[in-house]
Amino acid sequence: MTKSERSAYIADRLEDLYPETPIPLDHRDPYTLLIAVLLSAQCTDARVNTVTPALFALADNPAAMAKVPVESIREIIKPCGLSPRKSAAISELSKILVAQHGGEVPADFESLEALPGVGHKTASVVMSQAFGVPAFPVDTHIHRLAQRWKLTSGKNVEQTERDLKRAFPEEKWNKLHLQIIFYGREHCSARGCDGTVCGICRTLFPERAKAVKTRK
């Protein structure tokens, strides 16, 4: 198969498997999504979802969160890991949203990425899932599968994002991002498949005999 043929097959197969793509992180609006995505760094979505109810019961908007002591935030989010850094970022970005953005989450990449603790991937998730702007956030699942499916050279996540945006139509990006994550978790995980086991890997590369080593 050519790369374009692989891309078309992948998109069709994932649409069959995951016609609905609910956002894995529980949230109510752009702000709570932003905080949940920030907390998900080096943490599972499932664990984040057990922590955010208590956090959002304490404060679920920038104005309220800006008044919460950092220590109180940190105590709640400890199970997510990296709590000193994440709690400081949550407190500071909330203050910035109040001071500079009228208490609202801005709907542009530059403003989002200027917030403490918000990198390009986090901004991409918020832009795509909260505001419907085409984006292709690349997490570890997507980075791994894009390499196994030979859609990218895998040099880094930035290159993977650029390659995937070229491989798929823009109107599919937001949904495909979630579909690939779902497939990576269920069928093509880091340990469960090495590029030779899952259905898509076997279909795309039936003669592949060696495991695919994922570049970080």
The residues annotated with a catalytic role in the active site are: 121, 139
Sign of dihedral through CA atoms 88, 108, 119, 188? Answer: positive
Q: b or e along 86-115 (b: 16 or more beta carbons within 10 Å of the residue's beta carbon)?
A: bbebbbebbbbbbeebeeebbeebebbeeb
Gap between the Cα atoms of 87 and 15, Å rounded: 37
Shortest CA distance to 146 belongs to which of 183, 119, 120, 171?
183
**SS3 at position 24:** coil
CA 121 to chain centroid: 6
Residue 172's identity, in one-letter code, is K
Radius of gyration of the chain (CA): 18
42 class by beta-carbon count within 10 Å (0-12 exposed, 13-18 middle, 19+ buried): exposed
